[in-house]
Structure 1
Amino acid sequence: MSESMAWLTRDIRKARKQGPAEVARRRGDRLADLVACARSASPYYRELYRGLPERVDDPTLLPVTDKKHLMDRFDDWATDRDITFEKVRAFTDDPELIGRRFLGRYLVATTSGTSGRRGLFVLDDRYMNVSSAVSSRVLASWLGPLGIARAVVHGGRFAQLVATEGHYVGFAGYSRMSQEGGGRSKLLRAFSVHEPLSRLVDRLNAYRPAFVIGYASTIMLLTAEQEAGRLHIDPVLVEPAGETMTDSDTDRIARAFGAKVRTMYSATECTYLSHGCAEGWYHVNDDWAVLEPVDEDHRPTPPGEFSHTVLISNLANRVQPFLRYDLGDSVMLRPDPCPCGTSSPAIRVQGRAGDTLTFPSGRGDDVRLTPLAFSSLFDRMPGVELFQIEQTAPATLRVRMVKAPGADADHVWRKAHDGLTHLLADNKLDNVTVERAEEPPKQASGGKYRTIIPLPA
């Protein structure tokens, strides 16, 4: 059976029309196929899956994997035995090779290492084709016929806000498309999130995109520019990704641009993992991915409760299989059908489990605060465009901010300091010191702003 782009696009649409039972059948068959492939060609998985049933279509039967273990066993992980860590590392050390085919066959992508460990990932054409086919279906469902027509009138141009200084999956994929040509490459342009904001605004004004896709924090800065009248673009769709957003964030973006706003929850390990809906939930693309919210012992978390972490299985990438891979996020599975009408599982994302801040209470125990506690505080605080809180000592927080245009920096700081002080006091953490930073939020090499930075373990 051929899995061309055309076949994948038809099959994805067909599965959705046939309903959840047919989606589940496809998912089970694809999981069983990938497990068999991993066992056959990957020494790591052959060892890990020793003793399992011959056919595995239930993900809960599989042991858990994570970035650390896979990177430690890199040479044994890949199903293509020509792939080694040294070859991939040498490839990623050369910026001239971004988007080029590694070994003449694969895309190589790195993670920025904000979670504490850099990832080197090899992605095959099957994965890239599935990602494109899923994205096309989702885009069509977001826009509808009228939205598609409006996008065509606007020129159909995509502005992709990415980190352009490394082999990050967004820029590597864009570079591949640009190098190999095709119709889609003429409608897509990458814009560096590292360039000065004024220059980025000028370039976007000249490009006039119909679609704006990129890091949520950069899009929020552009939203302020649009509100101030310096940016004046008229996109059909704005798609923030890579960072958690609140409903008020997306409402503000929609008002500023007069555009539909849809978010995505994904990762380099599974770029097509889920897509946002009008109700503010992420729907898992569950014909090609498995998502399992679990507790600390990797047991299922009940719907309606936030998990300790989440396990994902990418059912497309055969060259380096991601199976029951611990992504490190805290998610909640919706316990009832989503009002948007989409039948696939719906989730909310709380943030990285590792980004939870832990403080000594002074009473012999620890107090933990989640990223949501801080984001919800700053979300309702006027004058703040971007914030970052770093725990520089067990009982010290350093706060970095970018103020909104026209806001008084000292007034914004007093509000932020008062809000944080009250939040800490409410949690009996009067012993924690809050410091004002003169420097702006630190941007990771991959382009993201990590809003919460815990004390290193």
Structure 2
Amino acid sequence: MAESLYRVLRDMRRARKGGPEAVRTRRVARLREIVAHARARSPYYRELYRDLPPEVDDVRLLPVTRKPELMAHFDEWVTDEQATLARARAFVDDPGLAGQLFLGRYRLGTSSGSTGVRGIFLFDDSSNTVTSAMALRAFGRWLGWTDVAKVVAGGGRVAAVLATGGHFGSSTVLPRTAGGRRLGKDRIRVFSVFSPMPELVAQLNDFRPNILIGYAGQIALLAGEQEAGRLRLAPTLVMLGAEGLSDSGYARVSSIFNAKIGNGYGACEFMSVAASCAHGWLHVNHDWVIAEPVDRDYRPVPPGETSHTVLITNLANRVQPVLRYDLGDSLLMSPGPCPCGDPFPAIRAQGRASDALTFHDERGRAVAVAPVALAGVVDRAPGLELAQVVQTSPTSLQVRVRAAHNADPEQVWRNIHAEIVQFLANHHLDGIDLTRSEEPPQQSAGGKYKLIIPYAPDPIDARAVEN
């Protein structure tokens, strides 16, 4: 791992020194290789690409792929015949296996199901190495030598506040080694996003991280705790991902923690699509991933216009090729060069802002909960295909449930009910009314499923939130 990581990092430096043409040459070569590999090893792609030229060096020649079709043909999609959907589902339904290797050789993560289907994704050695290299490149963009020296002098402790207890992509692919050595608890530690806030604050105060990593919604709540004086951290860098904040939200987090802010954009399909610069743009890792902003008919959207969706091509993952894949996110490509000088394409992800849910406890006090925490609790329930939680008032929740194929819907609901009840109890919200909706999960106007829909008192506002 250490040797292959070094080779990737060295190649990345050479590509950047060589300029746009050097990056383009590598991207085209990697596209040819991954398409040829998919044709040779994946029955699904072999059939899908049967009318294409023998060699493909333009991604636009490839047909669009979508999660529902790929998951329906999982056994033909993957390039390892032992990695069947039945085995993967059995692995996913056992939370005790979280963090272990699937089939002894692949990391495994699940997507949230926001496009209507819960995805299961395998990460081979190649994709894990590239993900680690992308992370190091991002840290190099965010931290200068003075910052690095400060982090090292402070102990080099990294706190990652992530979803735990399930096969979540963010925690599944978290690097566990550095320079060939396993990272100890004294250097990097994962904290559960599901922990009650007072407990989480106490744990972080005890650990005193120099770098704080977490979902943007949860970090925004932690900033509130820092502002109130209950959290007492002095991180050099705060890295946010999974959700977006407004410009003022990022500025608030930076000011409260007196730290630099790093923002990452990715998904299980490719964990490190882009990383932020000081000017608020996200720069696509263009040497290892191709991102195409397109309209609803999959035609290219020009820079400066918001896309309907984005097509992602992962140039690293060989066990489960993700090629011209409809990710479902809306992107805006910068109409001109970024002021930071980075030559990689600059984008902004649209529609990922996430506000905290505010509940009232039995004494009428407000309790804020990050949506990602509640979504993660629901998502780890065995047998679930998709669930949508609607906050119908400050003291009530309603859940729309879709069970997976061959799963017992009543048992799935009992699993979800138990998870949410325990989660609410941990946050001292025992009086919240929790019911199951007769409706299935509802799509928004943009075609996605918003997994957590906060309460909006006005019916018009409620529709706007859901859309």
Per the alignment, residue 44 of structure 1 pairs with 44
Q: Within 5 Å, give how 1:92-111 maps onto structure 2.
A: 92-111=92-111
Q: Within 5 Å, give how 1:230-269 maps onto structure 2.
A: 230-269=230-269
Shift of 1:231: 0.2
Shift of 1:236: 0.6
Does the 8 A contact of 1:99 with 1:175 survive in 2? no
Letter in 2 for 1:112: S
Shift of 1:14: 1.5
Per the alignment, residue 155 of structure 1 pairs with 155
- Bigger shift: residues 92-101 or 306-315: 92-101
Does the 8 A contact of 1:291 with 1:310 survive in 2? yes
Per the alignment, residue 14 of structure 1 pairs with 14
Per the alignment, residue 358 of structure 2 pairs with 401
Letter in 1 for 2:329: D
* 2:395 aligns with one of 438, 450, 457: 438
Alpha-carbon distance in structure 2 between the residues aligned to 1:87 and 1:436 = 40
Alpha-carbon distance in structure 1 between the residues aligned to 2:338 and 2:217 = 27
Does the 8 A contact of 2:177 with 2:183 survive in 1? no
Does the 8 A contact of 2:158 with 2:209 survive in 1? yes
Does the 8 A contact of 1:12 with 1:134 survive in 2? no
Q: Within 5 Å, give how 1:312-351 maps onto structure 2.
A: 312-351=312-351
Unaligned stretches of 5+ residues in structure 1: 353-371, 376-385, 388-399, 410-433
Corresponding pairs, count: 384
Normalised to the residue count of structure 1, the TM-score between the two structures is 0.78
Alpha-carbon distance in structure 2 between the residues aligned to 1:440 and 1:251 = 32
Q: 1:64 to 1:185 in 2, by over 3 A?
A: farther
Alpha-carbon distance in structure 2 between the residues aligned to 1:129 and 1:456 = 38
Per the alignment, residue 116 of structure 2 pairs with 116
Q: Within 5 Å, give how 1:212-223 maps onto structure 2.
A: 212-223=212-223
Q: 1:3 to 1:183 in 2, by over 3 A?
A: closer
Alpha-carbon distance in structure 2 between the residues aligned to 1:451 and 1:242 = 17
Letter in 2 for 1:30: R
What percentage of aligned pairs have identical amino acids?
48
Alpha-carbon distance in structure 2 between the residues aligned to 1:122 and 1:138 = 23
- Bigger shift: residues 9-18 or 195-204: 9-18
Does the 8 A contact of 1:114 with 1:450 survive in 2? no
Unaligned stretches of 5+ residues in structure 2: 367-390, 400-415, 424-449, 455-461
Alpha-carbon distance in structure 1 between the residues aligned to 2:185 and 2:66 = 34
Q: 1:194 to 1:104 in 2, by over 3 A?
A: same
Per the alignment, residue 87 of structure 2 pairs with 87
Shift of 1:113: 2.4
Normalised to the residue count of structure 2, the TM-score between the two structures is 0.77
Does the 8 A contact of 1:308 with 1:329 survive in 2? yes
Say what the alpha-carbon RMSD is for the aligned residues: 2.9
Letter in 2 for 1:26: R
Alpha-carbon distance in structure 2 between the residues aligned to 1:19 and 1:192 = 41
Does the 8 A contact of 1:402 with 1:440 survive in 2? no
Q: 1:197 to 1:435 in 2, by over 3 A?
A: closer
Shift of 1:186: 4.9
Shift of 1:450: 3.9
Does the 8 A contact of 1:401 with 1:441 survive in 2? no
Q: 1:441 to 1:334 in 2, by over 3 A?
A: farther
Letter in 1 for 2:358: M
Alpha-carbon distance in structure 2 between the residues aligned to 1:269 and 1:4 = 21
Letter in 2 for 1:438: T
Alpha-carbon distance in structure 2 between the residues aligned to 1:3 and 1:300 = 38
Alpha-carbon distance in structure 1 between the residues aligned to 2:181 and 2:98 = 15
Residue-by-residue CA offset, 1:365-387 (whole Å, 9 max, x unaligned)? xxxxxxx7xx7xxxxxxxxxx44
Q: 1:160 to 1:114 in 2, by over 3 A?
A: same
Does the 8 A contact of 1:4 with 1:129 survive in 2? yes
Per the alignment, residue 127 of structure 2 pairs with 127
Alpha-carbon distance in structure 2 between the residues aligned to 1:438 and 1:257 = 32
Alpha-carbon distance in structure 1 between the residues aligned to 2:96 and 2:111 = 18
Secondary structure, aligned partner of 2:332: strand
Does the 8 A contact of 2:132 with 2:175 survive in 1? no
Secondary structure, aligned partner of 2:134: helix
Q: Within 5 Å, give how 1:260-339 maps onto structure 2.
A: 260-339=260-339
